[in-house]
Amino acid sequence: MTPGEQILYETAEKIYALEKQGKKILRLNIGEPDWRPPASAINQVSTALRKGHDKYASAAGEKELRERIAQIHQCRSENVVITPGSKWGIFMLLAQQAKPGENVIAFSPHWTGYESMCRGIGIRLQFIRLKEENNWKPDFEELTSAIDAGTRMIVLNSPANPTSHAWSEREEKELISIASEKRIPVLADDAYRDLCFDGRPDRPFTEEIRIAHTFSKTFGMTGWRLGYIIVPELLARQSIAFNQRSISNVPVFIQEAGNRLLIQKKKLAAKARKNCQARAGLAARMLGTKTEMVVPNAGFYAFPKIPASIPLPAFLDALLEKGIGVAPGPAFGNNPHHIRISLCRENKVLRPALEKITETVEEMTSSAT
């Protein structure tokens, strides 16, 4: 386990132990939407199964789904490979694009997954630290000087988990241009892209990027394991062969449900996005005065910094005492005073929880001074 995983694991275990003692814990530590795919998707699964669409299938994914995705991202269906979640897509791309000893660059605060994947494969993961005081904006000089002869990929983790901050389109362009100049591909981890509050369009595919996307967040389908990558054709063929020798294929009945959802993507994504934006606004208003927090512009996390005078472990324990679980900032890099709050609950649950968090900050600030 990486340190980040260890921290998340211990948090989950602590919550589990408390629950076993009969305590009720609101699990705001988990990054999972509270919305679900519409009934039409679930019905599609039954229909497909009854039709016998449950046999071995293409390791590339179903033609219809690949074509629809190609249309969305303005590329050829030959660029698209269906994966069991974007996690698998990222894992497969890292394993193919970097060899042990080589390195990959990502921006921190960061998703714990990158670290465990890179460690598993033997790749060195280099972080460029984004600063809260700069509103999580990237410093491109720092990026340029971090790139070396062993750099094989740069991860554009925007919108980022845990910050819920999305780069501007101008910043994204600058990153891609710096990387292209050095002939290093950019991996756009677009898990939260559809939840940018500015409603930006689907990312068009170009040869210098590799897109990893998932149905998990946009459609609330985390456990369905459905995602895709969009990559240059040669890499797509290699990725199809990688699928073929490992996972075979994503179940066709799941792909058919996904295909149905993409038809309604604009509408469903807009609904999820509005939901997220309202919750982010609520969190900013309620936490803003007691913590330091960059107001999120995407996704469903709040990532506030509590006063440095409060020891984080004691703060987390106090929250658990009040029945609230959140994820500790150190799980996502060098964030000793941050917490990640998943905002995926309806207002009547979320509001009192945020209130308790603010209260706890107040209580522990006054007791610390």
Q: What residues make contact with its own copies under the rule CB under 8 A? A: 1, 5, 30, 32, 36-37, 42, 45-46, 49-50, 52-57, 84-85, 87-88, 91, 113, 116-117, 120, 221-225, 241-242, 244-254
Closest distance of CB 328 from its own copies, Å: 18
C-beta of 74 vs 264, nearer to its own copies: 264
Closest distance of CB 197 from its own copies, Å: 24
C-beta of 80 vs 221, nearer to its own copies: 221
C-beta of 116 vs 365, nearer to its own copies: 116
Residues in contact with 272: Cβ distance below 8 Å, sequence separation at least 6, in sequence order: 33, 35, 194, 195, 217, 218, 219, 220
C-beta of 275 vs 360, nearer to its own copies: 275
Which residue, 307, 309, 327, 330, is CA-closest to 319?
A: 327
For residue 268, give the H/E element and its range: helix 265-287
Closest distance of CB 43 from its own copies, Å: 8
Answer whether the bond into residue 162 is a cis peptide, omega within 30°: yes
Residues in contact with 367: Cβ distance below 8 Å, sequence separation at least 6, in sequence order: none
Closest distance of CB 356 from its own copies, Å: 24
Closest distance of CB 70 from its own copies, Å: 21
Closest distance of CB 136 from its own copies, Å: 25
Residues in contact with 68: Cβ distance below 8 Å, sequence separation at least 6, in sequence order: 259, 262, 263
C-beta of 27 vs 356, nearer to its own copies: 27
Torsion sign (Cα): 48, 52, 56, 57: negative
C-beta of 48 vs 319, nearer to its own copies: 48
Which residue, 11, 13, 32, 29, is CA-closest to 21?
A: 13
Closest distance of CB 50 from its own copies, Å: 7
Closest distance of CB 36 from its own copies, Å: 6
Q: Is-contact 26 357, C-beta < 8 A?
A: no
Strand ordering across the sheet containing 103-108: 80-83, 227-230, 209-214, 186-189, 151-156, 103-108, 124-129
Q: What tokens appear for 187 in the block? A: 């991996």
C-beta of 49 vs 147, nearer to its own copies: 49
Separation CA 227–CA 213 (nearest Å): 6
- In eight-state DSSP terms, residue 124 is E
C-beta of 20 vs 56, nearer to its own copies: 56
Torsion sign (Cα): 343, 349, 351, 354: negative
Closest distance of CB 66 from its own copies, Å: 17
Please state whether beta strands 151-156 and 186-189 pair in parallel, antiparallel, or not at all (unpaired). parallel
C-beta of 221 vs 280, nearer to its own copies: 221
Closest distance of CB 152 from its own copies, Å: 18
Q: Is-contact 239 61, C-beta < 8 A?
A: no
C-beta of 91 vs 136, nearer to its own copies: 91
Separation CA 294–CA 165 (nearest Å): 8
Q: Is-contact 252 62, C-beta < 8 A?
A: yes
